[in-house]
Amino acid sequence: MCLLSVVLLGNKSCSSKALGDFVNLLKTSDKVELFAVDAFPTAAQEQTLDATYVADYKVLEFIPTDPVEATSLTLAAVEVKNFDLINVKNCPFMAKYALRFSKGKDRVTMVISSAPCGKARMIFASGAKERNLELTPENSLEAAIQKIVSKPLIK
Amino acid sequence: MRQQCLTRALTILAVLCFAAHLLPAQDLFEIKFTDKANVKYKGLLVIFNDSKMYMRVAYNAENMYKVVNVDYKSEHGKTDGSEYLVLLGSNPKFITAAGQYGYNPDHIIFLENQEKPYLTDNPDDTSKLLHADSFKALTKQEINDAYLREFYSSTESDYLALRKMFGMDLSTLKLKPNVNTNTNTAGTTMHLIIAANTNIGDIGMSCTRDQSSLTAEFKGIASSLGISYKQYLINGDNFTKAAVQNTLNGLYPGTNDIVIFVYRGHGFRWNDQQGAWPQLDMRSSPYTRIGDNTALDLDYVFKTIKGKGGRLNIVLGDCCNSTIDMPSPLTGSEFLAMQANNNYNDDKLRALFMNTKGNLLATAASPGEVSWANNANGGFFTVSFLQSLREEISYLRDDAADWRDLINNTVTGARRKSSTGVCSNCTLQNGIYHYDVTPKN
């Protein structure tokens, strides 16, 4: 295996570029919002005025984040090691959280399906085709979200 | 830059496609390489499955023509974020006279951005690394007796098997339909039902690939057996629970017919579910909510097909069996792209499909587990099934074809493909099955 290491050391991975162009927006976003959302999206014609939707997912709860937490979410969202770019799980996407990254009028929403069916769905406000990503088993993105949602409330 | 990454990703897939952790069964590859002393080597790589393969290496040395057999196993993984595959050589044995010098087995290394692999006989010394002169999958047209004799002696069982496999042995050529006194193929129909979620964003491509592989394989098998073939595809926008139920309702197999149902899509289990078999997720859009009108119990499909009275019923579910955070509705009902080469051993095919009766139900994962797929190869379980099927009916196998061996090898193959040594990001999938197949009276 040491040969492989030597040989492969010359191969720099595409790093975050492998995830797509939206990574730049994520990295330079000036606003990151975290939501708990419904498991399935709601078609536009079925959405109601008394509810809030993020990328068609009904918001169940807005989860406030401080700047440090927002940074940890951003870093985890652009970390290529958190995503399996080759293999996919044959399980249904069940949304649990949504991360909305904004910079000016540009917005990208990353909808998260949690373990054991860890997946992410990138949805672009521009209307660009959505991107499906597979979360790795020990990814830091779900861990970062879990750390935020499990913190004790200060009253 | 993006184009470079895309090209790179496609190259990874292409390499993995023909050579990585989802190696095709029973395929032949040729590799040519030249060592530092300018000795030219020609290798014939014979792949049974991703853990069982060998290479015959032919070369001239010491004024002799030499052929050596090297056993191989594959290892796949990731280093510094890059995928790699290495075929590890071992146990070199000379087929011809050995001469004065031995042969250090070569390890074959596939890098993600190289079409041709590297070879080395010393993993600790990078100065010995060689870049292959060529590497290709062999087509039927390229394989003739003279070619095989470059690597085999005329009495070797694999030489004789390969001759039969590629139609060079006149005594094995038969007119089709094959008239066999032990089996009556007249009036037998193979019904192939595939429900594949080809439209869904995350796994649609892998489902499409599996659908193509399965239809090509079973169509070829029916043709080889000289039996009728009917195919029912439930896919695209027609991928619904109603479409499966309508198909099953309209299925009337004869008492000597074979019914094969394969599901490729998402699967899950309710959080209060008791039974071991997964729910098939019959939604092709994420906007459709999971419910009684979209979920179909694989066991229900099996029991329905079993009740139709066909002679041999095979039901396979290549999907997850992991729990979702939903209870069952109260009203609920019960990884080198493979090409079908159609080089089947007719006797083994008959043993498997014509001389058996009963039922087989299998799924890709145990309760609580996910199953895996990738776009280049398809579902690990489906690919393992096709590999095992080809291995079971191969000319290169000496023992009798048997469904229990086949399904055992399928489960083992899918488990190996999902193991950390082969797929670093996967979790282990342990397929389960119910087997009730016996010899036909």
Give pLDDT, residue B177: 43
A8 in B contact zone (CB under 8 Å): yes
Q: Would you call B57 helix, strand, or coil by DSSP?
A: strand
Q: Interface pTM (ipTM) of the complex?
A: 0.86
More confident residue, B121 or A126: B121
DSSP-derived secondary structure letter, B179: -
The H or E element that residue B4 is part of is helix B2-19
pLDDT in tens, A75-123: 999 998 999 888 999 999 999 999 999 988 889 999 999 999 999 999 9
Is A8's CB within 8 Å of B266's CB?
Answer: no
The answer to whether B47 and B87 are in contact (CB under 8 A) is no
Question: Which amino acid, B194?
Answer: I
Instruction: Give residue B17's pLDDT band: very low, low, confident or very high (50, 70, 90).
Output: very low
B15: pLDDT strictly greater than 50: no
More confident residue, B435 or B347: B435
Query: 374-413 in B: which are within 8 Å (CB) of A?
Result: 374-376, 379
Domains detected in chain B: 2-138 (2.40.128), 177-439 (3.40.50.1460)
- Which of B13, B79, B283 should we substitute to test contact with A (largest number of A Cβ atoms within 10 Å)? B79
The share of chain A scoring above pLDDT 70, in percent, equals 86
Residue environment code for B37-70, b if the CB has 16+ CB neighbours within 10 A, otherwise e: eeeebbbbbbbbbbebbbbbbbbeeeeeebbbbb
Kindly report the backbone phi and psi dihedral angles of residue A37, in degrees, each rounded to the nearest multiple of 5, phi listed first: -130, 165
| Most confident region among B12-16, B96-100, B420-424 by mean pLDDT | B96-100
pLDDT in tens, B324-379: 988 887 543 233 334 445 567 888 899 999 999 999 999 999 999 999 998 778 99
Task: Write out the two tokens for B2.
Answer: 């993006």
Lay out the sheet containing A131-135: strands in order across. A53-54, A57-63, A31-41, A95-103, A106-113, A119-124, A131-135, A83-84
Give pLDDT, residue B62: 85
Query: 78-137 in B: which are within 8 Å (CB) of A?
Result: 79-84, 86, 107, 109, 111-113, 118, 120, 123-126, 129
Instruction: Give residue A15's pLDDT band: very low, low, confident or very high (50, 70, 90).
Output: very low
Q: Would you call A133 helix, strand, or coil by DSSP?
A: strand
Write the CB contacts of A149 (distance below 8 Å, at least 6 apart in sequence).
A36, A63, A97
The answer to whether B382 and B316 are in contact (CB under 8 A) is yes
B125: pLDDT strictly greater than 50: yes
Is A80's CB within 8 Å of B81's CB?
Answer: yes
A48 in B contact zone (CB under 8 Å): no
Name the least confident of A61-70, A87-96, B5-14.
B5-14
Give pLDDT, residue B137: 84
Is A117's CB within 8 Å of B203's CB?
Answer: no
Instruction: Give residue B140's pLDDT band: very low, low, confident or very high (50, 70, 90).
Output: confident
A9: pLDDT strictly greater than 80: no
Instruction: Give residue B179's pLDDT band: very low, low, confident or very high (50, 70, 90).
Output: very low
pLDDT in tens, B18-31: 333 344 445 788 99
Question: Which amino acid, B123?
Answer: P
Give pLDDT, residue B161: 85
Share the mean pLDDT of chain B. 84
Give pLDDT, residue B311: 96
Give pLDDT, residue B184: 59
B415: pLDDT strictly greater than 60: yes
| Fold for the domain defined by A25-43+50-149 | Dna Ligase; domain 1 (3.30.1490)
A85 in B contact zone (CB under 8 Å): yes
Q: Cα separation of B334 and A150, whole Å?
A: 38
Name the least confident of A137-146, B3-12, B198-207, B218-227.
B3-12
More confident residue, B218 or B334: B218
Instruction: Give residue B178's pLDDT band: very low, low, confident or very high (50, 70, 90).
Output: very low
Residue tagged 């300018």 (tokens): B38
B175: pLDDT strictly greater than 50: no
Is B80's CB within 8 Å of A8's CB?
Answer: yes
B290 in A contact zone (CB under 8 Å): yes
pLDDT in tens, B266-315: 999 999 998 999 999 999 999 999 999 999 999 999 999 999 999 999 99
Instruction: Give residue B163's pLDDT band: very low, low, confident or very high (50, 70, 90).
Output: confident
